[in-house]
Structure 1
Amino acid sequence: MSSTIDYDKLRADAADEVERELAGINDPFQRRAHAEELRDQAYMELASLKSERDQLVAAVALYEPAENVHKLLGITYNQMKRIASAAVGPLKDIHTPPPWPKDRAKAAQKAGIPHPDGLLDQAVTLAVRYEEAEARRNAALTHLEAAHEAVRTAGGRVRVAAVERPDFDEIRRKATEEIRAEFATLAAGPEERLRLAAEAVDQAEEEKAALLPERDEALNSLAFYTTARAVYDSAGISRQGMKRVQQRALGLSRDANLPTRPDQPEAARAAGVPFLKEAAEELPQIAAAYEAAEARHTAAVEIRDAAIMVLIAEPYGWGYTRIAEFIDRDVSVVHRVVNPR
């Protein structure tokens, strides 16, 4: 019997057994729990077998040494030598066991190691059980690692690396300084200044209008479908701002609660929120461009409003309607500039 054991196949079959047990479990939490159970069962079996298995291995090595006998036990020669050396005396170095005793049987008898009938067959039988348990444990550990990841991505989330977080304060500062510097060196009268400032406001608004849907789509894709956390930091908005973006995407009112994180992917799919494969790379770029446009818009509005105040006063004396038509805005905009609350 002992010469027919194919330990590689034995280990593969034991691993396949674990594979079959876990294959039908789709729920990630149940899968992890069962993988932990299989791991613990294998650990307990290994613990219960190890002492007797090691004693039998040592007995074979000391009482019935033979060429390649370690292969019959499913272990390497050095493993067998370490086990046998530990059985007859403490090891100074587990990686380099001492030479074999001159009289192995005598050393075994002195250490109180029994020599039962049918020793080799007993040792092989226990070695088979031990190797099977070890293979089941290793397979369970492998599946457990994947199960932990599945739990972390429960609900259909895709794993992504940490998303870049641009320095939005610096982006806004530079954009503001650029437009202020442009108008600071502008050699033009108040009418031309107002025209150029109004154009800058319109251009910034057009950029924002084009970028905002792209930013929100990328943000929602990351927030609903991936493992990314705190993506509002990569979008240049607050946590509450991100919540409002998500509420709009799901068609929820401002005071409604978002679905729980595990339920969000399904809710987003039902609402038609698209998954964007490149969202993690694109969001920081889109958000940076949007925040720069927002900063330029704010700065341009300030310059435009200052020009309005100049033109509405003497000696120019432009009326509200004339200014509104000039900047292509409703007259109420001019009223708010001239008469702020």
Structure 2
Amino acid sequence: MTIDYDQLREKAKDEVDSELADVQDPFERRAAAEGIRDRAYGDLTALKEKRKRLIASAALYEYTPQLHERFGIKRLQMKRLAMDALHGLVDREDTINPPGWPADRVKAARRARIAHPRNVVVLAEEITGRYEYAEARHVAALAHLEAAQEAVRLAGGRIRVPAPVRPDFDTVREQARDKVLKEYAKSSFDSEELLRAAAETVDRAEEDAEDLLVERDAALNSLGFYTTATGLYYSAGISREGVIRAQRRALGLSRTAKLPPRAEQPAVARAAGVAFIKDAVIRLPKIAIAYEAAEARRLAAIEIRDAAVRTLHAAPYAWPRSRLSEVIGRDHKIVDRIVAPDETS
């Protein structure tokens, strides 16, 4: 039976919360959280390599389109682990020509002498469950540790910080978009190669953006709730309302709820588990730049991918929508909207 990773992570977090619930003194709480963190990190270190080998083996010997879901990861992450096993580390910056799946996965795995244990999918899933459990305990301990340290530092008030940098996001987006378009313009791909490369670029940029969004909002909320910084939307590349939406999410408020008064926000944020990030004033602009660049790359690659989809769907190729959907790794509804927007409008 497939593991419910969200439930497993929640269980691990609840256990850590329970272990630390009665430790009220911030210094004792910090020491207890450090102990949990260190034990969880030791477990992660012990499991990491074996997890990677088993997932790579499962992906190469027993691949199915939804296999990554058995391990609670994204399809592209599973592919990276497999490519790492075959070729060494994959460069995340290689947006134009990333390594693709070998034509014969099993043959390539055997050539690379990658082991194929019996019941490898089950074994990979079991060790991934242990890994995710340890990681969730590690993350939960870090949250308690940061809260304890921040409680000692802030004593209920706000830290004075300089105004964060305000990047030129229009230029950031334009340069990132132009880079992708120029790389593809000078490529020598045929239509099928172009489609596969563009789809891969979309996936990579989308994954990067998702990860960066979490980091950006964490830095944004740390500054907004715990420091004297104002006008954060200039540094985050979003609107005033975008900042408020991020703060509502962090506090678990509804979309229409008002934020608590500014004087009460540090205490409310601590109670909601919002992390204090020491160098957020430096991190926010840098993360926001990376996020906006990833989004611009994603949108540019989508244009190229969609054009390739339309080309391969038309004569003389006449690829069926099902094949196009499989190649780009997206639901058939996406392909439908690309090739026949009038039918789906």
Name the counterpart of 1:34: none
Deviations along 1:59-109, whole A, 9 cap, x unmatched?
Answer: xxxxxxxxxxxxxxxxxxxxxxxxxxxxxxxxxxxxxxxxxxxxxxxxxxx
Name the counterpart of 1:232: 233
Tell me whether 1:255 sits opposite 2:256 in the alignment: yes
One-letter amino acid of the counterpart of residue 175, structure 2? K
Name the counterpart of 1:318: 319
Q: Distance in 2 between matches of 1:292 and 1:193?
A: 21
Deviations along 1:274-312, whole A, 9 cap, x unmatched?
Answer: 110100011111110010000000100111001101011
Q: How does 1:31-46 map to 2 (within 5 A)?
A: none
Name the counterpart of 1:185: 186
Name the counterpart of 2:268: 267
Name the counterpart of 1:48: none
TM-score (normalised: structure 1):
0.54
Name the counterpart of 1:15: none
Name the counterpart of 2:295: 294
TM-superposed CA distance for 1:339, in Å, is 2.5
Name the counterpart of 2:281: 280
Q: How does 1:43-82 map to 2 (within 5 A)?
A: none
TM-superposed CA distance for 1:155, in Å, is 5.9
Aligned residues: 189
Q: Distance in 1 between matches of 2:245 and 2:339?
A: 32
Q: Distance in 2 between matches of 1:229 and 1:166?
A: 15
TM-superposed CA distance for 1:221, in Å, is 0.1
Contact 1:155 1:264 in 2 (8 A): no
Q: Distance in 1 between matches of 2:292 and 2:156?
A: 32
TM-superposed CA distance for 1:154, in Å, is 11
Q: How does 1:131-170 map to 2 (within 5 A)?
A: 156-170=157-171
Name the counterpart of 2:69: none
Q: Distance in 1 between matches of 2:268 and 2:334?
A: 40
Deviations along 1:198-256, whole A, 9 cap, x unmatched?
Answer: 01001101111221111110000000110000111101111111111111100011111
Contact 1:195 1:327 in 2 (8 A): yes
Name the counterpart of 1:200: 201
- Structure 1: which 5+ runs fail to align? 1-152
Distance 1:154 1:227, change over 3 A: farther
Q: Distance in 1 between matches of 2:328 and 2:244?
A: 35
Contact 1:154 1:262 in 2 (8 A): no
Q: Matched residues, percent identical? A: 58
- Structure 2: which 5+ runs fail to align? 1-153
2:158 aligns to what SS in structure 1? Answer: coil
One-letter amino acid of the counterpart of residue 209, structure 2? K
TM-superposed CA distance for 1:328, in Å, is 1.0
TM-score (normalised: structure 2):
0.54
Could you list the runs of 4 or more consecutive aligned residues of structure 1 that deviate by over 6 angstroms after TM superposition?
Answer: none
Tell me whether 1:214 sits opposite 2:215 in the alignment: yes
One-letter amino acid of the counterpart of residue 302, structure 2? V
Q: Distance in 1 between matches of 2:241 and 2:321?
A: 37
Contact 1:163 1:234 in 2 (8 A): yes
Contact 1:204 1:294 in 2 (8 A): yes
Q: Distance in 2 between matches of 1:265 and 1:335?
A: 48
2:235 aligns to what SS in structure 1? Answer: helix
Q: Distance in 1 between matches of 2:290 and 2:184?
A: 21
Q: How does 1:326-337 map to 2 (within 5 A)?
A: 326-337=327-338
Q: Distance in 1 between matches of 2:247 and 2:339?
A: 37
Q: Distance in 2 between matches of 1:297 and 1:312?
A: 22
Q: Distance in 1 between matches of 2:279 and 2:193?
A: 43
TM-superposed CA distance for 1:313, in Å, is 0.6
